[in-house]
Amino acid sequence: MPNYAKALLEDVHNEKWVSVASVWEIAIKHSLGKLLLASPPEKYLTDILDRGGMSLVPVLFEHAVYVGKLGAHHRDPFDRLIVAQSTLETMALVSGDAILDLYGITRLWDAPEKSTQPKP
């Protein structure tokens, strides 16, 4: 994770939200043996959320329906749901997945490039 994204997540002044879709995906991957965690998902995730000062974004009817309106840029249903939530809740998304830019959301990962324009 780039320093910029890490700093955003560690800044206590930023509101931090995690989609229930991410919790769902982690639980599935753990149950299939594709994701190893230091403790059971319910404990691991609760600890991470608490330590990071993060709140949950529930999956709402509107979010689920909006997924069907999105272009097929990304095949992962969890990522598409998170894009729908980001769009409808007007929340920036911290992600390294550049394909998500095709949805026109605000994706934060690398530090914004500094302008090379001369100062007046």
Element (H, E) at 90: none
Looking at the domain assignment, is residue 21 inside a domain? yes
The C-alpha atoms of residue 81 and residue 58 are separated, in whole angstroms, by 11
More confident residue, 69 or 118: 69
b/e map of 79-95 (b: 16 or more CB within 10 Å)? bbbbbbbbbeeebebbb
- Asked whether the predicted pLDDT for residue 100 surpasses 90, the reply is yes
- Domain hosting 58: range is 3-108
Q: How confident is the model at residue 114 (pLDDT cuts 50, 70, 90)?
A: low
Which phi and psi (to 5°) does residue 108 adopt?
-110, 130
Number of independent structural domains in the chain: 1
Which region holds residue 90: left if phi is over 0, alpha if psi is between -120 and 50, else beta? Answer: left
What single DSSP character describes residue 115? P
Q: In the prediction, which pLDDT does 115 show? A: 45
pTM: 0.88
Looking at the domain assignment, is residue 118 inside a domain? no
Looking at the domain assignment, is residue 115 inside a domain? no
Q: Which residues make Cβ contacts (< 8 Å) with residue 88, sequence separation at least 6?
A: 62, 63, 66
pLDDT digits (tens, 9 = 90+) for 3-55: 999 999 999 999 999 999 999 999 999 999 999 999 999 999 999 999 999 99
